Amino acid sequence: MLYRIPCRLPIHFLCKPELQFSLRLSLDADLLERSKLSERMRRTLSGLLVLLLFFAGSYRALAIPAYARKNGLRCSACHEAWPKLSAFGQNFKDNGYQIGNERDSPVYLNPSYWPISLRISPNWHSELNTATTTDQAASGVQPVSTQGFDLTGMDLLAEGLLSKNISFILLPSSDEYGNFHFESAWIRFDNLLETPWLNLKMGKFELDSVVSEKRILTLSQNGGFYQVYHYLPPVDPGAYRETSTAAGETGASTTSFGLGDNQLGVEIMGHSPDDYTRYSVSILTSSDGSVNLPTNKSYDTFITGSRGFNVGTIGAQRFGAFTYIGQAPTRYLTQTPPAGVPTVIPGSGYGNKSFTRTGAYALLSYHALDLVPMYTHATESAFVALGIPSNESLPGGVHSPAWNGRMLELDYTPTLQFVAILRYEDIRNTAQTFTASARNYGDLDTETVGGRFYPFTSSRDGLALCAEYSKAHSIGVSSIQGNQTTRSVLMGVDFAF
């Protein structure tokens, strides 16, 4: 169903057919201005609009509470299962976290409102690595497992509007030891030239992928991220020993790039008023989000676009594609202090070589089921993969690696309070770095199954009880070139206030 509530900036609800009624309401702000309605009638209709927003979105679960408190809506207006966004939540985000009426500006808020949310996840978890390198094992590796109660890091999230059409996020985030960094920090100018097709963001932000790793429903060490976003081809030690090396070769990738990492740069994005069509172009510092320009002075580019379709009673379906074109330095200027050893000068990298990530995805829905298939193709210069200086020749038997990644995630949300997650990912190397490597060296398979139960829904806070199992199996990557399996089991409490 399509629930349309156009205001000065239209907001469309792409709702699932669990809501067995049809609603089509059009409240055009310009039409209201031209009409002869009394001021009292306008206030009545504005109140009706807020109520309709409330009830139209209240059939799903939870949210980060700051926006729910601001707008007086239940968190389920924006989230199917917190922190996963619904179609309306994606539209709300695309509109710069604005409903689209004249009261979006913070000057209309109660002075006591403070847009802050806290999130942390106390948990019990168990970890197993079947091929850990140890001094005590005759073979050099042995299974090692550990378990116990633990904490995740903490997010301190501040987000909202500085003024109408100027939104921001500031997210200091700590690891489990309390060491803070800025996970996100950006400002966005919305609806430039009075059109939703032009919005400008600058700072540190998540790439504009609708399949958001920052809103992933799983938390474990194996399953708490998308493998297809972060995979880098491992260096085959056996093949490396058999191959002549280049001068200065390090045998390790010069980038730790992950497509799910927040990046530093500027983004231009836009969308149709109903959010069916959306695009984004980002120009990013080539540092994988690290501050203080530690690598070089080059820039990366990320481009993505998607199109949504309303398929009868089934609901909204979306298809999209993206590409990331990056650069990494292979050489650095150095300085040697008196009686010292040479050290790299930060930011002086040069001899750039490229890497790419290209993919396509779909967001498919049928009643309580959401299906997310994704395919990625990745390439990396051999100079980057092995840390070979660009002024050297590639050794014989060395090639630029390439690999394909596939993901299929199924989310089942039968009630307001429960979501089940099933995810499978695999990585298949299509071009090995070394001719001497086995064809399937480094191939990876990951299975994750989990569930989240939400005891209550509130505009003040959110609580989820989590259970999860995840297993990853890699070919030939142990220190003795055997296979390696890692396994995570997690049970915990995920809460935000």
The domain spanning residue 488 has which CATH number?
2.40.160.10
| Boundary (domain end) residue, out of 56, 79, 108 | 108
The conformation of residue 215, written as its DSSP 8-state character, comes to G
SS3 156: strand
> Distances in Å between the alpha carbon of 8 and those of 103, 199, 496?
12, 16, 32
Shared domain for 140 and 212, answered yes or no, is yes
Shared domain for 92 and 129, answered yes or no, is no
Shared domain for 396 and 453, answered yes or no, is yes
Q: Which residues contact 179 (CB under 8 A, 6 or more apart)?
A: none
Residue 239 has pLDDT above 50, yes or no: yes
The token pair that represents 45 in the structure block: 């209709």
Q: Which of 85, 161, 142, 107 is nearest to 365 (CA)?
A: 85
Q: What is the pLDDT of residue 451?
A: 96
Q: Give the residue carrying structure tokens 């209309």.
A: 108
Shared domain for 95 and 202, answered yes or no, is no
Average pLDDT over residues 145-159: 93
> pLDDT digits over 306-335, tens only?
999 988 878 789 999 999 999 999 999 999
Residue 233 has pLDDT above 50, yes or no: yes
Residue 450 has pLDDT above 90, yes or no: yes
Shared domain for 195 and 91, answered yes or no, is no
Q: What is the pLDDT of residue 32?
A: 36
Q: Which residue has the higher pLDDT, 461 or 257?
A: 257
Shared domain for 161 and 306, answered yes or no, is yes
Shared domain for 165 and 214, answered yes or no, is yes
Measured from the Cβ of residue 134, the count of other Cβ atoms closer than 10 Å reads 13
Owning domain of residue 464: 116-496
Q: Which residue has the higher pLDDT, 54 or 351?
A: 351
Q: What is the pLDDT of residue 250?
A: 82
Q: Which residue has the higher pLDDT, 245 or 193?
A: 193
**Band of the pLDDT at 87, cuts 50, 70, 90?**
low
Shared domain for 234 and 99, answered yes or no, is no
Q: What is the pLDDT of residue 35?
A: 40
Shared domain for 126 and 77, answered yes or no, is no
Q: Measured at the alpha carbon of residue 375, what is the angle toward residues 299 and 225, in degrees to the nearest 5?
A: 75
Q: Which residue has the higher pLDDT, 88 or 249?
A: 249
Shared domain for 312 and 376, answered yes or no, is yes
Q: Which residue has the higher pLDDT, 189 or 62?
A: 189
Shared domain for 103 and 121, answered yes or no, is no
* Domains in the chain, number: 2
Mean pLDDT of the chain: 83
Q: What is the pLDDT of residue 255?
A: 85
**Band of the pLDDT at 19, cuts 50, 70, 90?**
very low
| H or E element at residue 360 | strand 353-366
Average pLDDT over residues 154-172: 89
Average pLDDT over residues 218-240: 94
Q: Which residues contact 169 (CB under 8 A, 6 or more apart)?
A: 157, 158, 159, 184, 185, 186, 205
Alpha-helical regions (H) of 60-215: 65-71, 87-94
**Band of the pLDDT at 248, cuts 50, 70, 90?**
confident
Lowest mean pLDDT among 111-120, 345-354, 474-483: 111-120
| Boundary (domain end) residue, out of 79, 108, 137 | 108
Average pLDDT over residues 28-44: 41
| Boundary (domain end) residue, out of 108, 136, 171 | 108
The conformation of residue 77, written as its DSSP 8-state character, comes to G
Shared domain for 305 and 425, answered yes or no, is yes
